[in-house]
Structure 1
Amino acid sequence: MTAEPETTGAAAAFEPLRPKLTRVAYRMLGSVADAEDVVQEAFIRWMKADHPAVRQPEAFLRRTVTRLCLDQLKSARRQRETYVGPWLPEPLVEEDQVDDVGLPLMLALERLSPLERAAFLLHDVFGLQFEDIAAEIDRDPAACRQLAARAREHIRQARPRFKVEKQRGLEIAEAFFNASRSGDMKALGAMLSADVAAHADGGGKRPAATEPVVGFDAVMRQYAVVAAWLKDNRSKLIRLAFINGLPGFVTLEADGELQTTALDIEDGRITAIYVMRNPDKLRHLH
């Protein structure tokens, strides 16, 4: 039995929009799996829609995805109140830098209300006009403008002041891997800024610091312990890459699990280290 022409046409119209919709959902939720689930739910609703009455399919679908994300963010906020240790977004591993929403900015977005986050992302990142955003989140354009302005004020410090050159960033990432795994503390110390901070997300599933480690001396002590442990528990470099827009790498650890490390770099020094160890957030990389 063949599919109805209208159903076939609706599915064909959706598929080119799926990557863009997934990008919106991921920036909203910080989870690859949740973003894919939201987009799939939007697809189901799209297939049931009155297609001749939908004049702008992309706007209809983006509105559906945004509202589903807003609903999900309400429960996600409650879940993160009981999360074990620092929460980091699921890592996106890419060959090239993606500038729109890097990892520090995604963490800053976590401090916003769901509506502030939606208004900021839709306007500042995806380029929608406030009149269009108003339809997406059921607020008037003036309110959307205020939401985006408040969000911008809150996250001003998280926007990158300048971007490290691609090859230089990957060179620093490789040098960091070599120094941290070999225990070359002199080389490691030369790469770190005075106010460096290390964040590790184990989610209670794998060993990780339950609070960010802040300051040069504290981070050096932590990595001295890590290096000693790694002598008998080898870590294998899988690839250098950009993790949520930051230079970093993917490793296979001694317990057989993957791990990602992302480095925020300013003036040639590492200012923040983000390590993802939670296996639930790394499944999509296998």
Structure 2
Amino acid sequence: MDEAILIFEKFNILLYSIAYQICHSKEEAEDILQEVQLKWLEQDLTLIKNPQAFLSKLVVNRSINYLNSAQVQRVDYYGPWIPEPEIEHSEDPLIGKEKITYALLVVLEQLTPQERVVFLMKEVFAYSHKEIGELLDITAENSRKLLSRAKNAVKDNDISVDNTSQAENQKFIDLFNFSIESGDLAPLLGYLTTEAKMSIDGGQKRRAPLRTLIKATRILTFLNGVMPHDFFGDERVIGEIYQQPCLFIKEQNQLKSILFLGLNQEKTKIQHIFIINNPDKLKNIL
């Protein structure tokens, strides 16, 4: 038993990171880890040649099951659904944190469960196609095809997802914050793409548009309408989550929402504004 616990603890951070980055939910990742640990403690260790591969497969399978059920649940979700953000404190080199931005998490939502798993396991966690095939019970060739489809989908999206856009992202976050502080959002119009979008995840816990707003002028009209009603709180702090600058919006010293920006591929304008208002998705931040 002691040996089994030590082995599990060795891979605990990696397994949690896999579960979170597939599921985009801290609570679900923690539940999956607990289930996997219980299953692991039932095993005969003498029959397991590669504990990391065995544990990873358990985590991946449960994560895919969650995604399949979550996709059904999200059809009935009230308003836009945005991945739950998380501040990672670990510097463990196994978790591939340096390869993930919050914008990438958002884009991964567009992939099928298998595409998402293959993309993450290959591009973030550096598993081989042979290892991924064993995780998913598919051939290495099928893994390569899934990765190709996933990469094309990521490339074809209208948001820059790599961490090289951090400096540009910071510039636009600063501009956004300055516009709020000055009480004049009009200058933002020139920095939004014509077909810019804004998604606000309130989860029916806080008031928010039921659908993603499209077009720069419509977004500015909405923001100008809600700004006098403390939509942007009484304090704003610029921070960073998953290598991406963001705006922590507070009301009476309590976190009220988080604002992220998705830049266009050229990193010259804002393509998508993401605002997380749902308190259930903010409780693990700060």
Same fold? TM cut 0.5: yes
Amino acid at match of 2:183: G
| Matches for 1:75-154 after TM superposition, within 5 Å | 75-93=69-87, 99-154=98-153
Q: Which residue of 1 aligns with 2:245?
A: 247
Taking structure 1 as reference, are residues 179 and 93 closer, same or farther at Cα in structure 2, changes over 3 Å only? farther
What secondary structure does 1:275 align onto? Answer: strand
Contact 2:166 2:243 in 1 (8 A): no
Deviations 1:106-144 (A, max 9, x none): 233223222222222212222211111111111122222
Q: Which residue of 1 aligns with 2:64?
A: 70
Taking structure 1 as reference, are residues 189 and 257 closer, same or farther at Cα in structure 2, changes over 3 Å only? same
Query: Aligned equivalents of 1:27 and 1:67: distance in 2?
Result: 14
Amino acid at match of 1:241: G
Q: Which residue of 1 aligns with 2:272?
A: 272
Deviations 1:193-217 (A, max 9, x none): 3332211101111111111112221
Once the two structures are overlaid, the 10-residue window that deviates more, 200-209 or 48-57, is 48-57
Deviations 1:92-114 (A, max 9, x none): 23699x55333333233223222
Pairing 1:39–2:33 present: yes
What secondary structure does 1:14 align onto? Answer: helix
What secondary structure does 2:41 align onto? Answer: helix
Query: Aligned equivalents of 2:88 and 2:35: distance in 1?
Result: 26
Deviations 1:155-202 (A, max 9, x none): 222473764564564353233123135421244334433332211101
| Matches for 1:83-232 after TM superposition, within 5 Å | 83-93=77-87, 99-158=98-157, 160=160, 163=163, 166=166, 169-230=169-230
Amino acid at match of 1:246: Q
Query: Aligned equivalents of 1:18 and 1:254: distance in 2?
Result: 37
- Deviation of 1:149 (Å): 2.0
Query: Aligned equivalents of 2:7 and 2:87: distance in 1?
Result: 28
> What 5-or-longer segments of structure 1 have no aligned partner?
1-6
Equivalent residue pairs, number: 278
What secondary structure does 1:155 align onto? Answer: helix
Query: Aligned equivalents of 1:34 and 1:274: distance in 2?
Result: 22
Taking structure 1 as reference, are residues 178 and 210 closer, same or farther at Cα in structure 2, changes over 3 Å only? same
Taking structure 1 as reference, are residues 190 and 93 closer, same or farther at Cα in structure 2, changes over 3 Å only? farther
Taking structure 1 as reference, are residues 94 and 168 closer, same or farther at Cα in structure 2, changes over 3 Å only? farther
- Deviation of 1:285 (Å): 1.4
Taking structure 1 as reference, are residues 68 and 106 closer, same or farther at Cα in structure 2, changes over 3 Å only? same
> What 5-or-longer segments of structure 2 have no aligned partner?
92-96
**TM-score normalised according to structure 1 size:** 0.86
Once the two structures are overlaid, the 10-residue window that deviates more, 220-229 or 246-255, is 246-255
- Deviation of 1:86 (Å): 0.6
**TM-score normalised according to structure 2 size:** 0.86
Query: Aligned equivalents of 1:204 and 1:177: distance in 2?
Result: 26
RMSD (CA atoms):
2.7
- Deviation of 1:248 (Å): 0.7
Deviations 1:56-97 (A, max 9, x none): 21111111100111111111111011011111000123699x
Once the two structures are overlaid, the 10-residue window that deviates more, 120-129 or 57-66, is 120-129
Identity rate, percent: 26
Pairing 1:263–2:261 present: yes
Pairing 1:19–2:19 present: no
